[in-house]
Amino acid sequence: MLPPVLIVEDDQKLARIVRAYLEGADFRVTHASSVAETLCKLDEEAPLAVILDLGLPDGAGEELCQDIKALGDIPVIMLTAKSAEEERIAGFALGADDYVVKPASPRELVYRLKAVLKRYDGTATSSQPLSFNNGALILDSRRHEISKSGQALTITPTEFKLLFTLASAPHRTFTRDELVSKALGYHFEGYERSIDAHIKNLRQKIEDEPRRPEYLKTVYGVGYLFCGERDAL
C-alpha cells in the first residue's frame, strides 16, 4: 500500500474538499491542522507528499517546509493565498516543489501533485539499496525497508532516516547535532538526546549483540558512526 498524501491545512472545509479530490484520484490521504500535528504525522506515516498551507495557527509554513525537506526527499506543494512573484520565489527557495495559489482548483492541485510525483519517481528508481557485509544488512530507501540476514525489520520512519544518514557515509563520525538536523529535521533545542534513544532502538533491531554493536558505534564525546562494508551491487 502506498503511503498517504499529507494535507496540512487549518481550514477544515478546504481540507475536506482537497481530500475528496485526492481520494477521487485514488490517493490515500491524511490530514494535519497545525505544525505540531504535521511533525507527528511525518514521523508516524512517512507521507508520499505534502500539500502545505502556509498560514497555520501555531507556526510558519515556510519554516515547516524546510523541516520537511530536511527529513528527506518528500515532495512539497505549497498552498497559499500569497500570490506575489517574490512570495513564489521565496517558496521555491525554501525547497517547495510547486506552488498553488488560493483559491485553488482541486483539479489543478491533483494534476500538479501527479506531475511532481512523476518527477520524483524518476529519481527514486535510480537509487540503489545500500547493502552491507555481503547482504547481511540492506537499506532500501525506495521502500523505506531494512532487512537483516534476509528478514524485514519493523522500523519507524525516524529510525530509518537516522540509519540511512549514517549508512550513506560509512566510517564518518556524525555529531548528535548533525544527526538531529539531517535525520529529524527539527530546529528545536534539546533533541540531541533523543538521538541516543533512537540509536538504542536501532541497535536492538540490527545488531546481533546490541551491547557490543558491530554497525552503530559510539564515538565518545562526539556522536556516532556506522561501520559496515558496502557491497558492490
Cα separation, 192 vs 180, whole angstroms:
6
Q: Could you tell me which stretch among 50-58, 67-75, 115-123, 141-149 binds Ca ion (CB under 5 A)? A: 50-58
Report phi then psi at 30, rounded to 5: -130, 160
Q: Where are the alpha helices (DSSP H) in the chain?
A: 12-24, 35-45, 61-71, 85-93, 106-124, 157-167, 176-179, 192-206
Cα separation, 53 vs 35, whole angstroms:
10
Residue 11 CB, nearest approach to Ca ion (Å): 5
> CB-wise, 53 or 98, nearer to Ca ion?
53
Residue 105 CB, nearest approach to Ca ion (Å): 18
Does residue number 10 form part of the binding site for Ca ion (CB under 5 A)? yes
Does residue number 55 form part of the binding site for Ca ion (CB under 5 A)? yes
> CB-wise, 12 or 149, nearer to Ca ion?
12
Residue 31 CB, nearest approach to Ca ion (Å): 13
Does residue number 192 form part of the binding site for Ca ion (CB under 5 A)? no
Residue 12 CB, nearest approach to Ca ion (Å): 10
The three cell numbers of residue 192 are 540531541
Does residue number 207 form part of the binding site for Ca ion (CB under 5 A)? no
Cα separation, 143 vs 131, whole angstroms:
14
Which positions lie near Ca ion, rule CB under 5 A?
10, 53, 55
